[in-house]
Amino acid sequence: MVLNSATLPLPRNAVGWIKPTLFTAALLPLLWFIVAALGDALGANPIEAIVRGLGDWALRLLLLTLAVTPLRRLSGWGWIGQLRRMLGLYAFFYAMLHVLAYVVLDQFFDWTALGHDILKRPFITVGMVAFLILLALAVTSAKRLVKRLGGTRWKRLHSLIYPAAIAAVLHYAMMVKADLRNPLIYTALLALLLGCRVWHRLLYKPLESR
């Protein structure tokens, strides 16, 4: 349901150009990493820069995905909801590249080391949990799967994005040596986005059930 009765003015067909623009914009970080890698502009430790940079973008897109519903409710622009799946798939796309970069560039298929890392290092365990959830959500994101699973079950499954986002931010915070500033910024943003949902529930659930 729409939160404000007075929707902000914006052409109804805005999604017609916003969606392709956003689609292209979300590819720019990847393009930048390719250009920078070819141009040797990623610093002394390009592998670390690529692994971390892709992780940053996965996290940013995950938060952007979670921002869709609160923005839709606040603005009253129903079409914003049409961006959610694309953004979520992009979050998964960057998370997958992040994991691939870790497996191929950082560890170069050293499966023993990878196994130890995933089982023994809590920050990698937590990151892997987040990735596996995103994988499950990406696989079940197609429209026909919504139908096959049934709306309620599909929704319940996809509410796993909340633990995935919490795990992703935790993964980042647990990796950092001493300077927690950036992980705390992500934590605050995630808390805000989850808080919006709690607030919405508290305000509207009682009304709806009445």
Site residues (CB under 8 A) for other proteins, limited to 38-77? 38-48, 50
Site size for other proteins, by CB under 8 A?
37
Q: How far apart, in whole angstroms, are the C-alpha atoms of residue 3 and residue 9?
A: 15
Residue 133 burial (CB count, 10 A): 22
Query: Per-residue string for binding with other proteins, 7-36, x by CB under 8 A?
Result: ------------------------x-xxxx
Query: Per-residue string for binding with other proteins, 112-151, x by CB under 8 A?
Result: -x--xx--xxxx----------------------------
- State yes or no: residue 206 binds other proteins (CB under 8 A): no
Q: How far apart, in whole angstroms, are the C-alpha atoms of residue 103 and residue 90?
A: 20
Q: How far apart, in whole angstroms, are the C-alpha atoms of residue 8 and residue 77?
A: 7
Q: Kindly give the interhelix angle for 122-139 and 151-158, rounded to the nearest 10 degrees.
A: 160
Q: Are 127 and 59 in contact (CB under 8 A)?
A: no
CB of 61 to other proteins, least distance (A): 20
Q: Which of 8, 143, 151, 179 binds other proteins (CB under 8 A)?
A: 179
Q: How many CA atoms lie within 13 A of 22 on its CB side?
A: 21
Q: Interface residues with other proteins (CB under 8 A)?
A: 31, 33-48, 50, 104-108, 110, 113, 116-117, 120-123, 174-175, 177-179, 181
